[in-house]
Amino acid sequence: MKQIKIGLLGFGTIGAGVVKLLKENSSLISEKTGAQLSLKTIADLDITTDRGVSTDGIKLTTNADEVLSDPEISVVIELIGGYEPARTFALKAIANGKHVVTANKALLAVHGQEIYAAAKASGVEVLFEAAVGGGIPVLSAIKGNMAANRFSTVLGIVNGTCNYILTRMTQEGADFTEVLKSAQEFGYAEADPTFDIEGVDTAHKLCLLLSLCFGTKVDLKDIYCEGITSVSAEDVDFAKSFGYRIKLLAIGKMDDGQIEARVHPTMIPSDYPLADVHGVFNAIRLTGDFVGPVMFYGRGAGMDATASAVIGDVVDLCRNMGAGISRRCAPLGYVDEKVGTLAIKPMGEIVSKYYIRFQAFDRPGVLARIAGSLGAHGISIASMVQSARSTDIVPIVIMTHEAREEDIRTALGEIDAFDVIRAKSTFIRIEDNLE
């Protein structure tokens, strides 16, 4: 039986899952590939900490070059994360004729085009199913079974930390800061959770989804990115009263040749399937012209689920190698020269419905002044709630009909300057027409 030797860069949680999966399911993998997969070398700065998995028969080293330059290793799994040295290591592996499997969405969102071009020049493959949605096989489905479809939308809950926080805020009425602390204690959030709660991790993943769905290069800085730190328990309660739940969504839409590319807290109807994605679970909803709406759901992170996707890519490579095939499918699912650069729609031009919350002094004429300013900027009110008076300052909540983002921001800037407004207004976009 053919032996395929693998090198692993990064022996953290996911790396430990890869070792565990290769050991426990080695015979099953051999039955499905006709090859014996052998993990030869693991490189990590820390090779002494017990990961809870056996490394018998595997070489451990702190020198990544022992993986990158070993002529016996034909597949390198990169699980270091971040931009550097992951980029340098990936490019060196490719230059040495090795296929690369990675879960590193940040690396590909920023340096993907460079890495894909290097892989094409060397005749090797770069696979990254685990980079979006952990164990959810959404990227391979976009490139494979749904490849004949033109996609109009892709919407995703793709960050388990944020979804866990918003789920608990919704179900328990808890405060953001309180739930974040709990998430860190349970290991659902990093000690420094900035990339998660500010939406950056979600934007990295949206970069990849947009490229695969629409065949375009995407610059990360062109994606509008807003995290969940400003979502309050009060907003969550008002959302429930209007029949909505708040989720951090990655949103991609094709709009007359331009792409809407945005990450932000979003109100979605509570009876939509996406609204029922709770805890650390992820879901991605795609709409194709022939397949219609399709939703993928599952564990978006974690040792076992992510390792499953990583080894799924390795299995795919092994099958290709067994058949003497290289680069059967380009990384983004499009012929390389057909990957274009579609324009990103300016955020000020997007059209949405909006939830707006004002903190105002309880004075005669306040509502009239707010409504007048909104109306002057072409913003129509769909409904309005003013809480019963308990102090001199009351929340006023307005739900709008569809309006331009730029008009909303201009009107709110004007209203926030009113002497009767106590604090900067809050607004959250609404997505309630997902077809």
Give catalytic residue positions. Answer: 205
Alpha carbon distance 78, 8 (integer Å): 6
CA 268 from chain centre, in angstroms, equals 18
- The secondary structure element, H or E, covering residue 68 is helix 65-68
Q: How far is residue 249 from each of residues 19, 146, 373, measured CA to CA in Å?
A: 32, 22, 29
- Extract the tokens encoding 393: 């300052």
Task: Say if residue 252 is exposed, middle or buried (CB neighbours under 10 Å; 0-12, 13-18, 19+).
Answer: buried
Q: How far is residue 353 from each of residues 80, 381, 402, measured CA to CA in Å?
A: 40, 10, 4
Task: Mention every residue, 6+ apart, whose C-beta is less than 8 A from residue 62.
Answer: 43, 44, 45, 47
> To 10 degrees, what angle do helices 176-186 and 160-172 make?
130
For residue 335, which phi and psi values (nearest 5 degrees)? -55, 135
